[in-house]
Chain A
Amino acid sequence: MSKRKVKESGGANGECISQVQKVLRERFCHHYATGKLFGIEHQYRHLLDLLKRTTVHGESNSALIIGSRGSGKTALLNHVLKELKEMKQVRENLLEVRLNGLLQTNDKVALKEITRQLNLENVVGDKVFGSFAENLAFLLEALRKGNRTSSCPVLFILDEFDLFVHHKNQTLLYNLFDISQSAQTPVTVIGLTCRQDILELLEKRVKSRFSHRQIYLMNSFDFKQYIRIFKEQLALPAEFPDESFAQKWNNNVQHLSEDKTVQDVLQNLFHYTKDLRSLHLLLMLAVSNVTVHHPLITASDLHEASKQYRVDSRANIVHEFQKFVQRKAHCMYNFEKPVVMKAFEHLIQLELVRPIERPNIRAQREYLLMKLLLDNTQIMDALQAYPNCPVDVKQWAASSLSWL
């Protein structure tokens, strides 16, 4: 009887675990789309207000959302758009054009992409335009509705805005901002960037057409809020099918957030970087340990995950350094010069050593001055941790590096 009961709950658990993994992974990996927002209500309202004015009242606007990597710019925008689209008027009218600086590396490509996203490829056909401005004006003209008094509001979203700034003459930006200043079609241009000095990069004529409206996203939460975010991120939602398991899970999460080791781990991560992406990474590692036999996350899981996450990469690679320091007379083996050269080349390939200037054909390879890209402490740490290190290499390193 009891065996059967265990098997039943075991079977339920397998399905359950899979569900848990699904929910949490989606939350951590796709957080640009569905993540919850923390602490940016003010900016949220500002942006919402701005977009409402464009779509409902027909005003043209431009804004820049500035925040460091992982501070939630795209997530914020997506949330605002989602809320906007609940209004019927917006849903039917608003046209969205999403451009990304990484993909559209050129103004021509950008223009083609705009044409494609507005579904105006048939209209443009094989027309040849004299300039960028003409083309863009033609596109927007084509968007006017039948009665020719108003046209659909267009929303241009430029991701990685700082890459658009490097195009030739900044024509795309100039034209977009120009249109947003002239009153013909309601156009809003929203740029998202991680550079704080973006305004310096804009040309004078582009800057003057920009409305200088900047929305800053700074991760301004403190550690207590950070722990609360941690709890919320791990908690299973109320719609989870297996309620008892969800209850157990959420209780466990509550326990974890009060546990001292977990708080230490979170504190370390918080001091290192505040953004939520790294928190997600850590939680992802911990969640991947969840199996049927191990259904709840424990503090040790989190501890291990944090150790794995913060591994010092250079110190590991420097282990290899030992092989290549056999030149001195301390070593027992005498190596031929070509072997040592090849080993040295390998070091260059690993980029632990870099030549100070580009090697030209005239100078010989052996006499090229090199720079070591490692710290003495890193070398010493690596030596300690290297398995089976020859004793004389250790002594040599200790003697020559110790006086520094």
Chain B
Amino acid sequence: LHKLEHLSLCISSRVRQHFSFPSIFIYGHTSSGKTYVMQTLLSTLQLPHVFVNCMECFTSRLLLEEILTQLQSCSPETEQTSQVPCDTFNDFVRLFKQAVATQELRDQTLYIVLDRAEQLREMEANILPAFLRLQELTDRNVTVVLLSEIVWELFRPNTGCFEPFTLYFPDYSIGHLQKILSQNHPPEYSADFYSAYINILLGVFYMVCRDLKELQHLAALNFSKYCEPVARGEANERDSRKLWKNIEPHLKKAMQTVYLREISSSQWEHLQHDDGEPGQLKGLSAHTHVELPYYSKFLLIAAYLASYNPVRTDKRFFLKHHGKIRKTNFMKKHEKTSNHLLGPKPFPLDRLLAILYSIVDNRVAPTANIFSQITSLVTLQLLSTVGHNDQLDGPRYKCTVSLDFIRAVAR
């Protein structure tokens, strides 16, 4: 933590009156501390700054107005902040020069920090290069700091721009993560106890996930379960083996939903209390089970088969008296790519109906009912149409559900 602050200190001017490099680009992974370090640095050194998140101000107008509004609160003379209308970057430069005209701001370097700077690329093409050159365009003492996850090469405009100073924030190492997570221990338990818990947690999750925010979430969720034996009086704080045996199955369960945050923390705790043994983890994904009428189920299964089986194998699977299929050279070459990896293939309506007739036991009459069910499957987006609406050969479809879903339906 301290090394990162030290690094930033080297770059930003420790002495306020001096000039700083016109633009700085800081990049690093999610939760590697970029925003946090920037904010603490600016507030502890009390440098005049403006902090804007480009995800919130996603158009140029919002962004520029936000910067100007925050500038008003920077200078101590104005009492209230009013909305300043600002349409183009030209106006922004003019208003910016006026706003920075106060005595205080003239001597010091003003910092404009733009978080999630990759959104700047989506705005008008002149916004990003203009911000990088803001010191030159306004002729004032200002530095623009861009924070982002994406590397600088993907930002550079085609004809080039003023290159900023790029700084990389590396991930936290496991030692650092340990220290940071151990700082949040709840007051009832001792720090050692909590750091032992963090140790276990990191040992399980570190290989998979190094994201600080995720780990904090997991730590908060599972801690109450970890403390249970101690709370119940079965073990004291130092009995590590018992605690480990208790927590292990729960961490295994948690591993399955490591990134998802499908259920909120309160629901998770509720689940923990209810069932003693590990049951099925019902998250949002379980809600996709849909009840279908009888023929629709068969239609869907037929569609899946039509999508994923090649046409050659139809004869073999569905007719009573089939012959042998000779493997041609073509098949041998292409056997490796499984159809399941490439995705569903489109099939014509006739083939669907043919397969349907062969898998349904009793006779199916091609009534309008069947056809309307096909259309309703398309509306439900379980099937999708391929090609134009008015094709001459008849409509073609594609099945858009996965094998698990089909299995659930087929039960």
In the assembled complex, the CB of B332 is this many whole angstroms from the nearest CB of chain A, namely: 22
Q: Are B137 and A100 within 8 A (Cβ)?
A: yes
* Residue of B10, B19, B89, B129 touching A30 (CB-CB under 8 A): B19
A231 in the interface (beta carbon within 8 A): no
A53 in the interface (beta carbon within 8 A): no
Tell me the bound Cα distance from A183 to B63 in angstroms.
Answer: 45
Tell me the bound Cα distance from A227 to B381 in angstroms.
Answer: 68
Q: A26-B19, A313-B166 are in contact. Are A333 and B149 (CB under 8 A)?
A: no
Q: Are B21 and A29 within 8 A (Cβ)?
A: yes
Chain A residues with Cβ below 8 Å from B210 are 323
Chain B residues with Cβ below 8 Å from A162 are 159
What is the chain B residue whose CB lies nearest that of A354? Answer: B154
Q: Are B18 and A320 within 8 A (Cβ)?
A: no
Q: A364-B343, A388-B174 are in contact. Are A314 and B153 (CB under 8 A)?
A: yes
Q: Are B206 and A388 within 8 A (Cβ)?
A: yes
B368 in the interface (beta carbon within 8 A): no
What is the chain A residue whose CB lies nearest that of B118? Answer: A351
Per-position 1/0 for A279-301, Cβ under 8 A of B: 00100110011000000000000
Q: A311-B168, A317-B29, A367-B342 are in contact. Are A339 and B19 (CB under 8 A)?
A: no
A387 in the interface (beta carbon within 8 A): yes
Q: Are A314 and B151 within 8 A (Cβ)?
A: yes
Chain A residues with Cβ below 8 Å from B174 are 387-388
A69 in the interface (beta carbon within 8 A): yes
Q: A69-B161, A288-B10, A350-B150 are in contact. Are A103 and B137 (CB under 8 A)?
A: yes
In the assembled complex, the CB of B224 is this many whole angstroms from the nearest CB of chain A, namely: 23
In the assembled complex, the CB of B286 is this many whole angstroms from the nearest CB of chain A, namely: 11
Q: Determine, out of A17-25, A150-158, A244-252, A255-263, the stretch whose residues face the partner at the interface.
A: A17-25
B152 in the interface (beta carbon within 8 A): yes
Q: Determine, out of B78-86, B227-235, B254-262, B348-356, the stretch whose residues face the partner at the interface.
A: B254-262
Q: A234-248: which residues lie under 8 A (CB-CB) from chain B?
A: none
Q: Are A105 and B257 within 8 A (Cβ)?
A: no
Tell me the bound Cα distance from A25 to B165 in angstroms.
Answer: 14
Q: Are B126 and A316 within 8 A (Cβ)?
A: no
* Residue of A25, A103, A195, A390 touching B89 (CB-CB under 8 A): A103
Q: Are B165 and A362 within 8 A (Cβ)?
A: no
In the assembled complex, the CB of B337 is this many whole angstroms from the nearest CB of chain A, namely: 12
Chain B residues with Cβ below 8 Å from A364 are 343-344, 400
Q: Are A105 and B126 within 8 A (Cβ)?
A: yes
Q: Are B19 and A335 within 8 A (Cβ)?
A: no
Interface residues on A, range: 35 or more
Q: Are B149 and A22 within 8 A (Cβ)?
A: no
Chain A residues with Cβ below 8 Å from B153 are 313-314
Tell me the bound Cα distance from A387 to B170 in angstroms.
Answer: 12
Q: Are B159 and A105 within 8 A (Cβ)?
A: no
Chain A residues with Cβ below 8 Å from B150 are 350-351
In the assembled complex, the CB of A293 is this many whole angstroms from the nearest CB of chain B, namely: 14
What is the chain A residue whose CB lies nearest that of B22? Answer: A29
A142 in the interface (beta carbon within 8 A): no
Q: A105-B89, A333-B255 are in contact. Are A194 and B159 (CB under 8 A)?
A: yes
Q: Are A29 and B256 within 8 A (Cβ)?
A: no
Q: A103-B90, A388-B174 are in contact. Are A339 and B151 (CB under 8 A)?
A: no
Tell me the bound Cα distance from A277 to B133 in angstroms.
Answer: 13
A104 in the interface (beta carbon within 8 A): yes
* Residue of A25, A101, A346 touching B13 (CB-CB under 8 A): A25
Q: Are A18 and B15 within 8 A (Cβ)?
A: yes
Q: Are A323 and B27 within 8 A (Cβ)?
A: no
What is the chain B residue whose CB lies nearest that of A362? Answer: B384
Interface centre among A29, A314, A390 (most CB of B within 10 A): A29
Q: A26-B19, A102-B129, A326-B208 are in contact. Are A195 and B255 (CB under 8 A)?
A: no
Q: Are B18 and A25 within 8 A (Cβ)?
A: yes
Q: B161-178: which residues lie under 8 A (CB-CB) from chain A?
A: 161-163, 165-166, 168, 170-171, 173-174
Q: B67-98: which residues lie under 8 A (CB-CB) from chain A?
A: 88-90, 93
* Residue of A70, A102, A281, A343 touching B165 (CB-CB under 8 A): A281
Q: A318-370: which residues lie under 8 A (CB-CB) from chain B?
A: 319-320, 323, 326, 333, 335-336, 338-339, 342-343, 346, 349-351, 362-364, 366-367
Q: Are B90 and A113 within 8 A (Cβ)?
A: yes
Per-position 1/0 for A51-76, Cβ under 8 A of B: 00000000000000000111000100
Chain A residues with Cβ below 8 Å from B17 are 22
Q: Are A22 and B18 within 8 A (Cβ)?
A: yes
Q: B6-32: which residues lie under 8 A (CB-CB) from chain A?
A: 10-11, 13, 15, 17-22, 27, 29-30
B124 in the interface (beta carbon within 8 A): yes
Q: Are A289 and B10 within 8 A (Cβ)?
A: yes
Q: Which A residues are within 8 Å of any B CB, using their own CB?
A: 18, 21-22, 25-26, 28-30, 32, 68-70, 74, 100-106, 109, 113, 162-163, 194-195, 277-278, 281, 284-285, 288-289, 311, 313-314, 316-317, 319-320, 323, 326, 333, 335-336, 338-339, 342-343, 346, 349-351, 362-364, 366-367, 387-388, 390
Can you list 10 A-B contacts (CB < 8 A)? A69-B163, A102-B126, A103-B126, A281-B163, A285-B11, A333-B255, A339-B258, A346-B30, A351-B154, A366-B343
